Amino acid sequence: MLQFSSYSTRLVNTRRGVLECLESALGDDLDSASLLIWHASIGHDFQDLVDASREHAPNSRVVATSCCGVVGCEGVSESMKDIALMAVKGDEFAVASCDGFFGHNAYEKSIQLARDLKAQQPGVNMVYFLGSGIDTANDQAIRAFEEVLGKDVTIFGATSSDNMKGLVNYQAVDGKVTEHGAYAVGFADPTLKVETQATHGFVAVGEPLVVTKSTGEVIHEFNGKPAWEEYTRRLGLDESAECGDTIPIGALGEKLSPELAEEYGNDHILRVVTKHNGNAMHYATQVAEGTELWLTTRDEPLIFSEMDRIVEEIKGRMGGKEAVAVFHADCLARGRFLFNRIIKEELVGKMQFPFYVDGACPPWLGMYGFGEFARLGGENEYHNYTTALYVIYR
């Protein structure tokens, strides 16, 4: 039976931060953990992080990802030196990984990840997936996992990030660090269930950009004009702008069906652009020609009211059960780049406090990344610019 514990810290020295998290989460018995899941800001050396983990907890599998800040039981931190840990005890899990994970091969790579998980643990009932946040096609990753493991298996997780530059991100498994890899953790404890839900609180404005030429996840033209040139023009930016300039203000909205919009609390699902080659824009999922995409603007009262709603709905589906662990993915544009510290901490308090058990926050591992996975309309879905909660309970 799997057990979870967590801790987060802000230390300049990577190895000292790793040891502090391990000792705080596991006490004196570092050998008791079988899996260490790390989120760390881009200022850390990821090879040092995984090496220190294997040195102090040699019996554990180690997975890690870069992010733009962390959220743990200890609160929110978005420095360049954040480290957060979820430690897992028990053996009812599987780990699979790959390198060279891109948009053009996301489906094939994810098929192999899913097959590896199933070979290790045929009873996988939920998957924590973490892939590169730059140049990927996350809808194809979902399709692949579902083909191998079935649609009843819930996929949750995020895509890794940097400090909102869209230049480099890291993934690590055991001793190997990659810049364009992916890993999946399949949990196979039959006593556990997970509830997932995401919300963004942005509203569409103006007339849509129409995709007039695309290839897979790459947009070449909007409205018959070069894509990046037209996109930046609509944002009021020069076409020499980089992705980091557009991420805070450039969320693109795809219109949802009325049924999904009612559940989502919003008429649109959002997408982020984290890479462009000249005028070719790399979207986060495959996009068909003729798709209409709206620019959006944040609605702060809506962000707070929707957070209250999804927490209430998750609690309702849990039927009075207590959370044993919460994984959490947040868009980096909802962190310090969107809110000041006071409002941001208030928002995190709204999501954490309802899940407290006996006055204490359950083990909590959150990150600010480039994208999030959570169910919508009863199906696995990829999101951008959201807060996504993944509450595991027994």
Average pLDDT over residues 199-216: 95
Percent of the chain surpassing pLDDT 90: 84
Question: What is the spatial distance between Cα 182 and Cα 160, in angstroms, rounded to a whole number?
Answer: 9
In tens, the pLDDT along 370-385 reads 999 999 999 999 999 9
Asked whether the predicted pLDDT for residue 335 surpasses 70, the reply is: no
Question: What is the spatial distance between Cα 227 and Cα 235, in angstroms, rounded to a whole number?
Answer: 12
Contact (Cβ atoms closer than 8 angstroms) between residue 264 and residue 201: no
| Cα-Cα-Cα-Cα dihedral sign, residues 298, 281, 196, 100 | negative
Q: Ramachandran region of residue 264, left (φ > 0), alpha (ψ -120 to 50) or beta?
A: alpha
Dihedral angle computed from the Cα positions of residues 253, 257, 260 and 264, in that order, rounded to the nearest 10 degrees: 30
In tens, the pLDDT along 146-205 reads 999 999 999 999 999 987 778 899 999 999 999 999 999 999 999 999 999 999 989 999
Confidence of residue 333 (pLDDT cuts 50, 70, 90): low
pLDDT at 45: 95
**Parallel/antiparallel/unpaired status of strands 93-98 and 126-131:** unpaired
pLDDT at 220: 98
pLDDT at 77: 86
pLDDT at 79: 83
Question: What is the spatial distance between Cα 99 and Cα 191, in angstroms, rounded to a whole number?
Answer: 32
Average pLDDT over residues 35-59: 96
Confidence of residue 15 (pLDDT cuts 50, 70, 90): very high
Asked whether the predicted pLDDT for residue 41 surpasses 70, the reply is: yes
| Cα-Cα-Cα-Cα dihedral sign, residues 154, 160, 164, 166 | negative
Averaged confidence pLDDT in the chain: 94
Q: Rounded to two decimals, what is the model's pTM?
A: 0.93
Question: What is the spatial distance between Cα 235 and Cα 252, in angstroms, rounded to a whole number?
Answer: 11
Residue 348: C-alpha distances to residues 72, 335, 358 (Å):
10, 10, 19
Contact (Cβ atoms closer than 8 angstroms) between residue 221 and residue 106: no
- Going by C-beta distance under 8 Å and a sequence separation of 6 or more, which residues neighbour residue 193? 392, 393, 394
In tens, the pLDDT along 123-159 reads 999 999 999 999 999 999 999 999 999 999 999 999 9
Asked whether the predicted pLDDT for residue 251 surpasses 70, the reply is: yes
Asked whether the predicted pLDDT for residue 342 surpasses 70, the reply is: no
Dihedral angle computed from the Cα positions of residues 103, 107, 111 and 112, in that order, rounded to the nearest 10 degrees: -30
**Residue of 134, 1, 4, 42 lying closest to 368 (CA atoms):** 42
